């Protein structure tokens, strides 16, 4: 099949999925067409916890290292999150106000955990909203944003999983551990990051990996269906394979280039 036909097919399928997902998540909870007006701010010190679970419809979530366990939030009417701490687990939930109209609603939540505090698990799921983590550590980290960006800076995980349907995924100066990253439409960029085994899949978008470690001993499988593969600035065509037993790096893109440097 001709290259142009593949591009058209992939583009149509991906756009339809994104549009369908957008309408599903926005309108099933009525967070769109007339806003709810006004915002409210709230903040509170929290008791200690070592597990974070966030499940939200429309929320920007920021988790950073700081002096103490602390939560602050600014939200429109009907968008207030509910949270509790039980058995060492902080659970934050939000369900958007069920009303039709053009969406001016918003919710922005910031969570601070003490510097050097090691979380057992961080799990953040948002339908619409950006997720940002900075300076935090956890044994396991799972991030999912259907429409929004995922950003990591100076973090450390033993195991991590990041997914977006429409948005960018970026990490800098971060130890990802054993990691899996998936993006339907958007760029994936890892800058000065270390990892064990790493698997990356991108439907529409380029992938850039600047490793903070030597990958000479890694088993690498890099393939760009409609794009090019570059390793240390050398053009390798559409596929690149390297054998090794120090770790695994697998990257696949349907429409987009791959660039790996180390």
Are 16 and 133 part of one and the same domain?
Answer: yes
Predicted local distance difference test score (pLDDT) of residue 165: 96
Mean pLDDT for 118-129 is 97
Are 203 and 140 part of one and the same domain?
Answer: no
Measured between alpha carbons, how far apart are the two ends of the chain, in Å?
Answer: 35
3-state secondary structure of 123: strand
Neighbours of 11 (CB within 10 A): 13
Are 57 and 16 part of one and the same domain?
Answer: yes
Predicted local distance difference test score (pLDDT) of residue 25: 42
Q: Is the CB of residue 145 less than 8 Å from the CB of residue 98? A: no
State yes or no: pLDDT of 212 exceeds 70. Answer: yes
Are 190 and 111 part of one and the same domain?
Answer: no
Predicted local distance difference test score (pLDDT) of residue 156: 98
pLDDT digits (tens, 9 = 90+) for 36-62: 457 899 999 999 999 999 999 999 999
Are 125 and 196 part of one and the same domain?
Answer: no
Are 142 and 128 part of one and the same domain?
Answer: yes
Predicted local distance difference test score (pLDDT) of residue 14: 53
Predicted local distance difference test score (pLDDT) of residue 35: 41
Predicted local distance difference test score (pLDDT) of residue 138: 98
Higher pLDDT, 104 or 25: 104
Q: Where a domain ends, among 98, 115, 146? A: 146
Q: Where a domain ends, among 118, 146, 174? A: 146
State yes or no: pLDDT of 7 exceeds 90. Answer: no
Mean pLDDT for 121-143 is 98
* CA dihedral sign, ordered 61, 67, 69, 71: negative
Mean pLDDT for 133-144 is 98
**Angstrom distance (rounded) from CA 40 to CA 38:** 7
pLDDT digits (tens, 9 = 90+) for 81-97: 999 999 999 999 997 65
Are 99 and 66 part of one and the same domain?
Answer: yes
Q: Is the CB of residue 239 less than 8 Å from the CB of residue 229? A: yes
Confidence band for 12, pLDDT divided at 50, 70 and 90: low
| Domains: count for the chain | 2
Are 153 and 235 part of one and the same domain?
Answer: yes
Q: Where a domain ends, among 96, 124, 146? A: 146
Residue 63 per-residue DSSP state: E
Higher pLDDT, 11 or 246: 246
Please state the pTM of the whole predicted model. 0.85
Predicted local distance difference test score (pLDDT) of residue 15: 53
Predicted local distance difference test score (pLDDT) of residue 30: 39
State yes or no: pLDDT of 4 exceeds 50. Answer: no
Domain holding 71, by residue range, is: 1-146
State yes or no: pLDDT of 19 exceeds 60. Answer: no
**Angstrom distance (rounded) from CA 66 to CA 135:** 9
Are 153 and 141 part of one and the same domain?
Answer: no
Are 91 and 127 part of one and the same domain?
Answer: yes
Confidence band for 78, pLDDT divided at 50, 70 and 90: confident
Are 2 and 126 part of one and the same domain?
Answer: yes
Q: Is the CB of residue 86 less than 8 Å from the CB of residue 17? A: no
* In the block, residue with structure tokens 């698990």: 121
Neighbours of 17 (CB within 10 A): 15
Element (H, E) at 262: none
The rounded mean pLDDT for the chain is: 88
Are 217 and 237 part of one and the same domain?
Answer: yes
Predicted local distance difference test score (pLDDT) of residue 105: 79
Predicted local distance difference test score (pLDDT) of residue 5: 44
State yes or no: pLDDT of 104 exceeds 70. Answer: no
State yes or no: pLDDT of 253 exceeds 70. Answer: yes
């Amino acid at each position: 099949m001709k290259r142009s036909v593949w591009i058209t097919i992939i583009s149509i399928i991906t756009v339809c999925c994104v549009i369908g997902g957008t309408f599903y998540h926005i309108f099933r909870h009525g967070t769109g067409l007339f806003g709810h007006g006004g915002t409210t701010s709230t903040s509170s010190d929290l008791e200690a916890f070592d597990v974070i679970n966030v499940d939200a419809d429309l929320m920007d979530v920021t988790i950073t290292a700081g002096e103490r366990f602390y939560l602050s939030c600014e939200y429109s009417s009907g968008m207030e999150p509910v949270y509790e701490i039980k058995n060492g687990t902080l659970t934050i939930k939000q369900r958007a106000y069920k009303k039709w109209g053009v969406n001016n609603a918003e919710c922005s939540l910031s969570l601070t955990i003490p510097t050097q505090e090691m979380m057992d698990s961080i799990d953040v799921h948002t339908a619409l909203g950006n997720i940002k983590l900075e300076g935090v550590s956890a044994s396991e980290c799972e991030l999912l944003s259907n429409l929004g960006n995922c950003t990591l800076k100076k973090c450390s995980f033993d195991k991590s999983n990041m997914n977006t349907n429409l948005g960018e995924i970026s990490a800098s100066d971060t130890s990802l551990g054993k990691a899996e990253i998936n993006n339907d439409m958007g760029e994936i960029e890892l800058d000065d990051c270390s990892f064990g085994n790493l698997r990356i899949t991108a439907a529409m978008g380029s992938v850039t990996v600047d490793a903070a470690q030597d990958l000479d001993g890694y088993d690498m499988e890099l393939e760009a269906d409609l794009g090019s593969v570059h390793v240390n600035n050398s053009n390798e065509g559409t596929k690149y394979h390297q054998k090794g037993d120090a770790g695994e790096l697998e990257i696949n893109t349907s429409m987009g280039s791959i660039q790996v440097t180390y």
